[in-house]
Structure 1
């Protein structure tokens, strides 16, 4: 009855099924692994101590910034230089501006330092003079759309839309680190800016997309198995009907023309 499985048509179907099921299982397992990685990174970020509680590490040991080093307490030494305001930033539910000052380090590069936050309309205090050592939470350069950051153009002189080396490259005559820090303790008259969580570590929409894709791939694998058994059953039933001499029925419910002709000859005789 199942000799039809050796036909070229069924060889093609079987090969497709043998390849499709492991592929679907692999892709589903991979998406599940991505979701579990995001859950672990989220839990690690939640358990990470505050930067102010950790021993500061020299800046060069934490670069480039990644998920492991983002939020770590970094230290740098140098002299303060140019200062900018970063408007439209909220702290404790209030609108205001970050006070960002570039620290010219001994290596020649400048490190953007957020010295604190001020409410709207309050002038930014001047930075300390002379050689200073700062400790703060290390952050990756901002990009448009990250945590509501909008790189709006046309800002007044002395203001920045986002904190990044790309936004400072045309404003200062020296190289800028592709990172920044927010001081653990704000300078006098300002409010300390809390460090943002590392990107792609939360249980956001992407994490649940991975979980959804996991289910889709396993459903695909089950659908392939279901369709193979369905085709097998239909083919076996057709072979069994043929062996019993039963005439197949057309979709319209009428017997085929050959069957009608046979019945006509039988009645005339």
Structure 2
């Protein structure tokens, strides 16, 4: 009854199924590991951002460049405050307001963007307290440069003078004359009645759409594996039914075509 499984056609089907199922299972497991890795990275980054303020502050230059292992860590830097900018459209405690961003000129010759605090309402330079004069030492959480789309950051454009949409060297290069660090710091304790801005997890570590795409691909690959098995059993059942009907004479046998006469024979 099952001798048809040894035919070349079924050999090809069987080999395809035996290769397709492990491949689909492997791809589904790989996509699942990618999703689990993103979940782990998100949890670790969130924990680091929330606990980084309680760690020992280290010199700024020793923690650069900013990556997932240093983002949110406490750093210290010394210098003199210079140009001040506002960063509008920033939410804190379910309220919309703005950051007060001041450039700290360090002894290295570069300027460090320092978020001295957050104020509610529309960005207004008159509301922003002036930075302390003279030499200062700041302590706060190290943050990576922002890009449009990170943490709700909008694209630069159409803002009044003295304002910036993103905190990054690329956005600030045309607004300030100083050489800039490709990082910024949010103070542990805000200045002059402002509210301190908490550190955020670095971009790319949250459970974004890509993470759930990995989870969706996981399901798709396991569905493909199940569909392959289903189709194999369906073809097998149809072949068995065909063989049984043929044995009972229920299948009409088409006569074999007669060979054409050879010319000149």
2:135 paired residue number: 131
Q: TM-score, normalised by structure 2?
A: 0.84
Count of residues in Structure 1 that have an aligned counterpart in Structure 2: 251
User: CA 1:212–1:196 in 2, change beyond 3 Å: closer, same or farther?
Assistant: same
1:1-269 matched pairs, under 5 angstroms: 1-48=1-48, 49-119=50-120, 120=122, 121=124, 122-248=126-252
User: CA 1:60–1:44 in 2, change beyond 3 Å: closer, same or farther?
Assistant: same
Counterparts of 1:11 and 1:257 in 2: how far apart (Å)?
Answer: 25
Unaligned 5+ residue runs, structure 1?
249-255, 259-269
Report Cα offsets for 1:42-89 as digits up to 9, x if no partner: 333454453331111222332232222221112222222221111122
2:263 paired residue number: none
Counterparts of 1:239 and 1:16 in 2: how far apart (Å)?
Answer: 23
Partner SS state of residue 18, structure 1: helix
Q: TM-score, normalised by structure 1?
A: 0.83
Counterparts of 2:6 and 2:173 in 1: how far apart (Å)?
Answer: 69
Per the TM alignment, residue 41 of structure 1 is displaced from its structure 2 partner at its CA by 2.5
Per the TM alignment, residue 152 of structure 1 is displaced from its structure 2 partner at its CA by 3.8
Counterparts of 2:159 and 2:128 in 1: how far apart (Å)?
Answer: 17
Unaligned 5+ residue runs, structure 2?
256-265
Report Cα offsets for 1:68-119 as digits up to 9, x if no partner: 2221112222222221111122222333221111122232222211111123
Counterparts of 2:249 and 2:94 in 1: how far apart (Å)?
Answer: 82
Counterparts of 1:235 and 1:77 in 2: how far apart (Å)?
Answer: 81
Report Cα offsets for 1:163-203 as digits up to 9, x if no partner: 11110122233432222110111112321111122334344
Q: Does the CA-based 8 Å contact 1:51-1:184 persist in structure 2? A: no
